């Protein structure tokens, strides 16, 4: 009988052990943490951006750049450093506004015209170089000098502006060199305040960035919209005008033998200002003819692209137990870019294990150079807790849920 009892006790013990193990496993399976839902993002359709860029007609001659408020300019023609003529005055204007911390409604510091200033003015005038006349002992503010330099394109007032803000032209040139590098134009070189020196040069790509900065500067944009034809006691023509019949805000319009015809303009497109630059044009007839094609192509080819509409499916949430629910946008989003590669998106979601229908779960972030938009997303359906069958999966899965 002893062997039989031992067998019975062994069987009872094994049964009890199995019962304990089964109970532990059942408890572990039922009480194990539910894995978090996994987000899966859908790629945005931005192919139309490349088509918009391709529709812009860049002139064959010289060099051209077109710049949106964000991102790299598109360019055509020569990529070499070229003389920039009066565009150097636009560099001066932006650096001076920055240095003087000039704001709308503020006039900045004042300088008094002396005999040396008049002598310099006479020398420029004798050489047939454009000036805005100043008089002995007149007081000129930084704002007056800015108007005369940008709109009147006065070469003497450009030099006076450099003196008023920086103390001297040399001090201005030193600051301008740093400013150009800091603002993404490392290959631009200015050796004077006016651009009369042919050694003031830039690649057209850098000038596209310059136009982009001009479009973003509220003081300069206000000046280009108002286009005053008087500063202090001096009156002058609008010498920065470029294709006004096309609705363009001219920021620089100049010619030298070394540089050819050079334009910088801001083209209104909806609520945005698109910067455009043409340099090295052989003459005004060719330059103005090219404008008649370039500007309309910008106005028609540059459009914000709606990459997300309300109700669009922008991703999904999936569960380990086989349930999937779509994520839909509850806000629209548009981007303005020339290159689809400049647009990036990512889902930023709260960690969740279950969701209800219509529940806000996070956002879709859409990033373009210099800007990030956030679009709220919610669920189009529900994912509930898994059933008993899934919870009693194989032991390794249950153990893995506890280890996670």
Neighbours of 296 (CB within 10 A): 14
Residue for token digits 């560099």? Answer: 91
Is the domain covering 32-47+308-403 a CATH 2.60.40 domain?
A: no
Phi, psi of 160 (to 5 degrees): -70, -35
Instruction: Check whether 346 has a pLDDT greater than 70.
Output: yes
Residue 55: what pLDDT?
A: 87
- Is residue 27 very low, low, confident or very high in pLDDT (cuts 50, 70, 90)? very low
Q: Where are the alpha helices (DSSP H) in 227-378?
A: 284-301
DSSP-derived secondary structure letter, 42: P
Instruction: Check whether 231 has a pLDDT greater than 50.
Output: yes
Residue 4: what pLDDT?
A: 65
In this prediction, residues 224-237 reach a mean pLDDT of 96
Residue boundaries of the structural domains of the chain:
32-47+308-403, 57-301
CA R_g for the chain: 34
Residue 22: what pLDDT?
A: 47
Taking the complete model, does pTM exceed 0.75, yes or no? yes
The reply to whether 57-301 shares the fold of 32-47+308-403 is no
Mean pLDDT taken over the chain: 89
User: Cα(233)–Cα(186) distance, rounded to whole angstroms?
Assistant: 38
Instruction: Check whether 2 has a pLDDT greater than 90.
Output: no
Nearest to 52 by CA among 386, 372, 297: 297
- Is residue 240 very low, low, confident or very high in pLDDT (cuts 50, 70, 90)? very high
* pLDDT tens-digit readout, 281-319: 999 999 999 999 999 999 988 888 889 999 999 999 998
Right CATH for 57-301 from 3.40.710.10, 3.20.20.70, 3.40.190.10, 3.40.630.30: 3.40.710.10
Residue 391: what pLDDT?
A: 60
Nearest to 328 by CA among 371, 359, 354, 355: 359
């Amino acid at each position: 009988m002893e062997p039989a009892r031992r067998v019975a006790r062994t069987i009872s013990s094994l049964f009890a052990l199995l019962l304990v193990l089964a109970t532990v496993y059942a408890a572990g399976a039922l009480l194990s943490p539910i894995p978090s839902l996994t987000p899966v993002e859908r790629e945005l359709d931005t192919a139309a951006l490349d088509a918009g860029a391709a529709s812009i007609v860049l002139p064959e001659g010289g060099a051209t750049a077109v710049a949106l408020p964000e991102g790299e300019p598109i360019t055509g023609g020569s990529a070499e450093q070229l003389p920039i003529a009066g565009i150097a005055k636009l560099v001066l204007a932006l650096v001076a506004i920055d240095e003087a911390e000039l704001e709308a409604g503020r006039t900045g510091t004042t300088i008094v015209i002396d005999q040396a200033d008049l002598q310099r003015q006479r020398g420029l005038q004798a050489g047939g170089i454009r000036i805005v006349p100043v008089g002995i002992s007149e007081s000129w503010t930084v704002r007056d000098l800015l108007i005369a330099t940008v709109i009147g394109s006065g070469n003497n007032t450009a030099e006076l502006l450099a003196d008023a803000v920086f103390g001297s032209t040399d001090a201005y040139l030193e600051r301008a060199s740093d400013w150009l590098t800091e603002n993404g134009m490392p290959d631009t070189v200015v050796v004077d305040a006016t651009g009369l020196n042919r050694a003031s040069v830039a690649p057209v790509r850098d000038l596209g960035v310059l136009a982009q900065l001009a479009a973003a500067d509220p003081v300069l944009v206000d000046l280009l919209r108002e286009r005053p034809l008087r500063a202090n006691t001096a009156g002058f023509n609008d010498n920065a005008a470029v294709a006004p019949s096309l609705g363009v805000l001219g920021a620089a319009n100049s010619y030298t033998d070394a540089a050819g015809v050079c334009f910088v303009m801001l083209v209104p497109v909806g609520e945005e200002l698109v910067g455009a630059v043409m340099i090295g044009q052989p003459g005004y007839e060719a330059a103005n003819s090219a404008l008649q094609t370039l500007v309309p192509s910008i106005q028609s080819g540059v459009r914000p692209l709606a990459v997300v509409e309300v109700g669009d499916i922008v991703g999904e949430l999936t569960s380990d137990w086989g349930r999937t629910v779509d994520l839909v946008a509850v806000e629209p989003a548009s981007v303005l870019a020339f290159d689809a590669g400049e647009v990036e998106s990512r889902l930023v979601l709260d960690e969740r294990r279950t969701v209800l229908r219509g529940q806000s779960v996070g956002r879709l972030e859409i990033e373009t150079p210099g800007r990030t938009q956030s679009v709220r997303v919610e669920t189009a359906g529900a994912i509930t807790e898994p059933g008993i069958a899934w919870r009693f999966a194989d032991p390794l899965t249950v153990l893995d849920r506890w280890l996670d």
